[in-house]
Structure 1
Amino acid sequence: MRNLLATLGWPALAGILAALLILDRWVLPNGVGNAPGQAAASYHQAVRMAAPSVVNIYTAKVVTERPNPLLRELQRRRLVPPQQPRRRWSQSLGSGVIMTQEGHILTSNHVIAGAELIQVLLHDGRTTAANLVGYDQATDLAVLQIDLSDLRPIVRGDANNLRVGDVVLAIGNPLGVGQSVTQGIVSALGRYFYEPNVFEDFIQTDAIIHPGNSGGALVDSSGSLLGINSVTYSNSGQANTSTSIGIGLAIPVNLATFVMDDLINYGEVIRGWLGVSVEPAGGQGPDSRRPALRVDSVSAGSPAEKAGITVGDYITHIDDEPVADGRITMMKIAMLKPGDRITVTVERGQQSLDLQAIISALNLSPDY
């Protein structure tokens, strides 16, 4: 009996061991079944690729201090002699991303706004003054340029391929302590918070963004740039650049590079304009099941008017792509150039019309 069990048991035991080996090597995901203390996945290579392209930015400007109200009143009564307003240097810090071999750096406009001196510290320890190429208040982006050799422009990713849940890393100069990295995930896409005519398309992340991170890089797990870290949105309902408590927001790399290219080439951002004001159809229109934007107004002389779009039309497609969100539609039109032709599909009564529009330049009015 014992010999029979031994004869039957060894083949079965060998089969179980072989199955476990196959599961561990070819079937189970990486890291499953790791022995206690075994190293987890590392983002070292991603940081090694991206970090040399992220710089620290230090700015200084002269500010005039307001006199104490009591002192001002005493001066008004001539109880104390008048004094000249006190002026002092105010310093701030932020981050930036090297985008080109020619030394162009993307950063947040609020990092350098009003600065009289801009100094850049590179990852390799070199420092240099930076010149302001241009800025865009609508997206809170600015472009600087430095004159140094052997720069490491960052590898650009594509934010259009981002998914909620993807791992991201925020690299910057938090609190002035030096370059640091925080890790998180993409929490949401297409976020907006402020005025309707401001061009917002934020990536929301739970990677911690401290003061000083503004203008730094948001990269994927391979080190490619996905966005420019912008602000933290707090529960006060305001953009917050002085605390890390809140929702981290980054400007997608696609939008940031569009702004940068225009600032370099033209000194300003040239945005496309159609000239309509729209609202979500909300289940109305000839086909309430189809997403659409109801046209509430058409600007006189606008590309929309010239194309034949009228108040009450329901826009269903632009260049055969369905529309549903007015802000996303605004962003897509704004990233066109004057002279670009688009096909606007509208429903009017029981008709579906394909209207041809030639985009013109936006003057930052609140319609599209």
Structure 2
Amino acid sequence: QPGNPAQPGVAPQPGSPAQPGVAGPQGYPAYPPQGYGQPYGTPRPQGYAGQPAQPPYGSSFGAAASGQSGAPYGASQTQPTLPLGGQQAAAGTDTKKKSGAGKVVGLLVAAAIVGGAAGLGGSAAGFALFAPTASAPQSGPATVTVNDTGSVNQTTAIAAKVVPSVVTISASSGSSGGTGSGVVLTEDGYVVTNTHVVTLDGATGNAAIRVTTSDGQVYDATVVGTDPTYDLAVIKLEDASGLTPIRFGDSSKLNVGDQTVAVGAPLGLSNTVTTGIVSALNRSIEIASSAAPDSSAQDGEQDDEGGQENGQEGPFFFDFGQGQSPQQTADTIKIAVIQTDAAINPGNSGGALVDSEGKLIGINVAIATAGGSGGESGSIGVGFSIPSTIVKRISDEIIADGAATHGLLGATVQAAASVEGSTITGAYIKEITAGGAAAAAGLQPGDTVTAFNGTPVTDATDLTAQVRAVAAGSKATVTFVRDGRTQTVDVTLGSLPTE
């Protein structure tokens, strides 16, 4: 009857909310502290303390964590089927938005099916493992499962907040296909991911795109624009509404050692959550270009900062997330990244890397492998994410204009350490392009660039990545050494050609 005391383990009577950061009733901890969403001990609606809650069970866990509607609270809800292959349904199936239905399968069972259908390690390049195709769609968890509400930790709260903003992307072209991840930017369906996800590692420019949200809704999607220079792309879900956009954090304020949480669909296993820390900042890597075959976005003129001048024949770091060999090309791109030890694997491409508040700090893009390109690849604790500040600029430009711009210094550079007689690290300027930004700023051949906008530069890859990270026409401060003396100069960057 109304007024009876709540039983142990349930929420308090309405009107006695738990204080933020302190224990709730019956030892139910209010989590997490510092005002993270609503206090965990907040009374549930629908008479949670004195009368049976109506479906869904109590309030949504997503609402408790973020103040927005989320997945149904409780682990007993029926979970939708999440197709893991490049094709979402058999021929003749209606391609309009629909929800799947099915039961949660155990991780070991799902892993066994993935291994059996894909042949783990069986792709031609030894990385980017396939998930099952349309003939064997698999089930996957649609929400964050919470079995013991009395011991919820911070990662659980972060996951509940972020999972609704991360989607699984299936791309297919003919008999080829694969899966990756994406992050929701707007409630009406703009999603950011990697170019190599929507181009099948650069194999095609017209892949069919299907997107599954965390709650099992399936949408067709079209490519709004790709940016092969930084391996980012934006797609738009058709007829979407009410999605949960990610909240952006400021990647420029990160410290080494900060907590990270990666959310995505490794090996096609949707809604997977892994944790780690920021292992390094201001890291620059070189990876294979994922530009589609009909794109000429990477020509010789654009390679003026870096090229192969750093002595590497090709990238040690590999794209991941698709199920076939990447496009055979000698083109590479240089990008600035966050390094993390959170486990990210093939299929995490385009997924979210978030901080301790569940805010986006990066888009997962690549991993380092211990062997060559012919061996298997998987997490060895060295993963890379494109910083959120770069993601925000590029995705905003793609949504507004269909493409993004990138800075151009107008100089041919190489690693200073490779120059005979050099005693410092940096980007050594070999040549200056007449009429370019470097020439206008007074930079000269023989100068060694040691910092760009305050970020240390140790070789040509560092400088190229930093220059490309900013928009065309941006003003930048370049620190360089000439005749043993450190100097600075302000540069107005040119525009990297896109055609």
TM-score by length of 2: 0.53
Separation (CA, whole Å) in 1 of partners of 2:259 and 2:485: 46
Contact 1:258 1:335 in 2 (8 A): no
Separation (CA, whole Å) in 2 of partners of 1:110 and 1:313: 36
Give the secondary structure class of the aligned counterpart of 2:384: strand
Match of 1:124 in 2: 215
Change (3 A) 1:235 1:351: closer
Q: Which segment is superposed worse, 255-264 or 335-344?
A: 335-344
Match of 2:170 in 1: 58
The answer as to 2:446 corresponding to 1:312 is yes
Separation (CA, whole Å) in 2 of partners of 1:349 and 1:184: 43
Match of 1:209 in 2: 344
Match of 1:93 in 2: 179
Of residues 135, 141, 154, the one that matches 1:42 is 154
Match of 1:224 in 2: 359
Separation (CA, whole Å) in 2 of partners of 1:268 and 1:117: 20
Q: Deviations over 1:244-268 (max 9, x none)?
A: 2433222222222222122222322
Of residues 153, 166, 170, the one that matches 2:245 is 153
1:182 maps to amino acid? T
Contact 1:191 1:204 in 2 (8 A): no
Q: Please report the RMSD computed on the Cα atoms of aligned residues, expressed in angstroms.
A: 3.5
Separation (CA, whole Å) in 2 of partners of 1:181 and 1:215: 14
Q: 1:74-89 alignment to 2 at 5 Å?
A: none
More strand by share: 1
Separation (CA, whole Å) in 2 of partners of 1:340 and 1:116: 34
State the identity as a percent. 34
Q: Deviations over 1:216-255 (max 9, x none)?
A: 1111222111111223321124498x74243322222222
Match of 1:3 in 2: none
Give the secondary structure class of the aligned counterpart of 2:334: coil
Match of 1:103 in 2: 189
Match of 1:359 in 2: 493
Match of 2:257 in 1: 165
- Structure 1: where are the runs of 5+ without partners? 1-29, 31-37, 64-89
Contact 2:284 2:334 in 1 (8 A): no
Change (3 A) 1:164 1:129: same
Separation (CA, whole Å) in 1 of partners of 2:345 and 2:454: 42
Separation (CA, whole Å) in 2 of partners of 1:320 and 1:202: 16
Match of 1:255 in 2: 390
Change (3 A) 1:56 1:302: same
Separation (CA, whole Å) in 2 of partners of 1:260 and 1:129: 20
Contact 1:164 1:188 in 2 (8 A): yes
Q: Which segment is superposed worse, 229-238 or 154-163?
A: 229-238
Of residues 283, 286, 302, the one that matches 2:436 is 302
Of residues 257, 267, 271, the one that matches 2:406 is 271
Contact 2:286 2:334 in 1 (8 A): no
Of residues 260, 274, 290, the one that matches 1:182 is 274
Separation (CA, whole Å) in 2 of partners of 1:292 and 1:56: 40
Separation (CA, whole Å) in 1 of partners of 2:192 and 2:453: 31
Contact 2:260 2:275 in 1 (8 A): yes
Give the secondary structure class of the aligned counterpart of 2:230: coil
Task: Report how far residue 165 of structure 1 moved.
Answer: 2.4
Give the secondary structure class of the aligned counterpart of 1:43: helix
